[in-house]
Amino acid sequence: MKSIALLLAVLLLAGCQGTGSAPVEASSQEASEVLAAEETLPTREPPAGSGRWSDPGELGEEGQALILQFLDRYYDSVAVLEAEELGDLFVEADSSQALGNQAVLNYVIQNRLLQPTDLSLTGYDYVLECRDVQGLADGSLQLTVVEDNTLNFAAYPGVDSQSLDVYHRFVLEENLQGEWKIAQHVQMNSLYWMVMGPYAFAGMRDDGAALDESGAAQYVAEQTARLLEEAQAAVARRATQGQEPDASLSWDHDYDREGAVAYAQEWVGRRNDQWADYSGYGGNCQNFTSQCLLAGGIPMDIQSPGIWKWYGATPNNLPQPSGRSASWSSVDDFLLYAQENQGYGLVATADAPYYSGQSGDLLHLRAFSQSDWRHTVLITGLCTDETGQTIDYLVNSNTGDLRNYPASAYSYACQLLIRVHGWND
């Protein structure tokens, strides 16, 4: 079995960068309110949705059906923004795994209900591939399942929002009644780590260590409460920023927004082999958006003090045409370059009024307002209200690979707009 250290690394990388922030304290009442799922079935009928296996590998029919049932219940819940219970699909309904997966679902729904756009679904479709099945000594099955999905959000009629190469880790067990149930499930993205922390890997350790299951309910409830508090504050902050761009800047050459967006649409779900792929080394998100900016005409910059370049994979922050600057592939380092660059190269407004963005601009994302920025995406489209005011964006990204996905549906609620204007000689 892989070590817990490796599993943690994979999970953190899947969100471009992860966060291991400790939970803040919450009262028992607050915790129970956050964790509790709806006790009744959704009052709205879920839309027509479908899931299927493209390749179940060596997984038997009962295991296939169980995973489809689990994901159908998840998507039916997010479709109507009302959470169904997941516990009966697990070996133990009160285990850290069952409670954690329920808390993740609850957070996704509550976060989307906070947003100014309608993030319910009018349809969904997902396809699964089982890439690995291992029989464990206790008779359970450990699976690696990869998912591609297409969601149709009510706020974006006619738009297919895609998530590609979504990795799941399942462990299935057969109970005394001969029924297969989920013993463990984690999706390899930062949301599961943010909500579940060490409980995301409960039972997956190979060092003999065990977690205190009695603390799981309080832990995931506190984390969910903290995330929702941040999300609520972020929504309020964006609403007060206004939509007026910075009119004081000037630049010699305009940014080719169409060129940047075209590149972003082409390189989701696959990689351009002219560049290194950092998906397994901290995430490919900033590397991807840097390539998009280059496709939009923003030149590499080797004139001090600001350096933004990729001439090769070797780290090199010197003002010379070789190697890779930290600003090319690091989220925080690029933000610093965008904030401080003068003279030649990029002209941008970092932390611009959130709703002043256009296609081709960038968003930086994080879960907690006091943490480092974790992820970068490129805006591909705008959602406006009846007055023509922008209220959301569609974005593309690498690691995870998303195409035309609502920014407001991200689990990273804290978001910063980088307005890309053009560049100077």
Q: How does pLDDT run across 177-195, given as a tens digit for each residue?
A: 999 999 999 999 899 999 9
Question: Any bridge partners for residue 379, and if so which?
Answer: 395
**95/373 Cα distance (integer angstroms):** 32
**Contact indicator for 79, 47 with CB cutoff of 8 Å:** yes
Percentage above 70 pLDDT, the chain: 88
Structure tokens that stand for 286 in this block: 């900033």
pLDDT of residue 242: 75
406: closest CA among 187, 229, 73, 152? 152
Does 223 share its domain with 339? Answer: no
| 3-state DSSP of 148-171 | EEEEEECCCCCCCEEEEEEEEEEE
Residue 257 and residue 198 share a domain: no
Is the pLDDT at 19 greater than 50? The verdict is no
Domain boundary among 173, 207, 234: 234
- Segment among 98-112, 205-219, 244-258, 402-416 with least mean pLDDT: 205-219
Q: Are strands 414-424 and 253-254 parallel, antiparallel or unpaired?
A: antiparallel
Structural domain of 389? 241-424
The DSSP H or E segment spanning 417 is strand 414-424
| Per-residue model confidence as pLDDT tens digits over 57-84 | 999 999 999 999 999 999 999 999 999 9
Q: Are 173 and 81 in contact (CB under 8 A)?
A: no
Q: Check whether residue 217 and residue 131 sit in a common domain.
A: yes
Q: Which of 192, 193, 170, 196 is nearest to 183 (CA)?
A: 170
Question: In the listed set 173, 202, 234, which residue is the last one of a domain according to the structure?
Answer: 234
* pLDDT classification of 379: cutoffs 50, 70, 90: very high
Q: How confident is the model at residue 243 (pLDDT cuts 50, 70, 90)?
A: confident
Among the candidates 234, 255, 281, a domain finishes at: 234
Q: What is the token pair recorded at 241? A: 């920023």
* Residue 400: cis peptide before it, omega within 30 degrees of 0: yes
SS3 of 99, please? helix
| Mean pLDDT score across all residues of the chain | 89
Residues 228, 248: one domain? no
Looking at the DSSP bridge assignments, the partners of residue 296 are none
Q: Which residue has the higher pLDDT, 125 or 280?
A: 125
Task: Say which DSSP state 308 is in.
Answer: B
Task: Tell me what pLDDT residue 203 has.
Answer: 59
Distance CA 324, CA 299 (A): 14
pLDDT class for 43, splitting at 50, 70, 90? Answer: low
Q: Is 156 in contact with 121 (CB distance < 8 Å)?
A: no
The answer on pLDDT for 368 being more than 50 is yes
Residues 165, 105 within the same domain? yes
Can you tell me the mean pLDDT for 311-316? 97
Mean pLDDT of 257-270: 98
351: left (phi over 0), alpha (psi -120 to 50) or beta: left
Alpha-carbon distance of 111 to 109, in angstroms, equals 5
DSSP letter for 246, please.
P
**pLDDT, mean of residues 219-226:** 97
Residues 278 and 196 in one domain: no
What Rg value do the Cα atoms of the chain yield, rounded? 22
Residues 68 and 165 in one domain: yes
pTM of the complete model = 0.87
Q: What is the mean pLDDT of residues 36-64?
A: 80
Specify the higher pLDDT residue, 163 or 38: 163
How much is the average pLDDT of 321-332? 98
Contact in structure between 328 and 290 (CB atoms under 8 Å): yes
SS3 389: coil
Give the mean model confidence (pLDDT) for residues 18-30. Answer: 36
* Shared domain check, 394 and 285: yes
Same domain flag for 179 and 253: no
The residue that leads in pLDDT, 9 or 128, is 128
Check pLDDT > 50 for residue 37.
no
Helices (H) and strands (E) in the chain, counts: 10, 12
CB 235 within 8 A of CB 202: no
Single-letter code of the amino acid located at 394: L
Please provide the DSSP assignment of 1-51 as one string.
---HHHHHHHHHHHTSS---PPPPP--HHHHHHHHPPPSS--SSPPPPEEE
One-letter amino acid at 153 equals F
Q: Are residues 284 and 230 in the same domain?
A: no
Do 130 and 59 meet the contact criterion of CB atoms below 8 Å apart? yes
Q: How far apart are CA 35 and CA 315, in angstroms?
A: 44
In this prediction, residue 296 carries a pLDDT of: 99
Q: Which among 4, 24, 2, 8 is positioned nearest to 227, based on CA atoms?
A: 24
- If asked whether residues 25 and 95 sit together in one domain, one would say yes
Query: pLDDT over 90 for what percent of the chain?
Result: 81
277 or 32, higher pLDDT: 277
CA separation for the pair 108, 221 (Å, rounded): 13
Kind of pairing between the strands at 121-135 and 49-55? parallel
Residue 343 zone, left/alpha/beta (φ > 0; ψ -120 to 50; rest): left
Q: How many domains is the chain built from?
A: 2
The yes-or-no verdict on residue 55 having pLDDT over 80 is yes
Tell me, yes or no, whether 188 and 159 share the same domain: yes
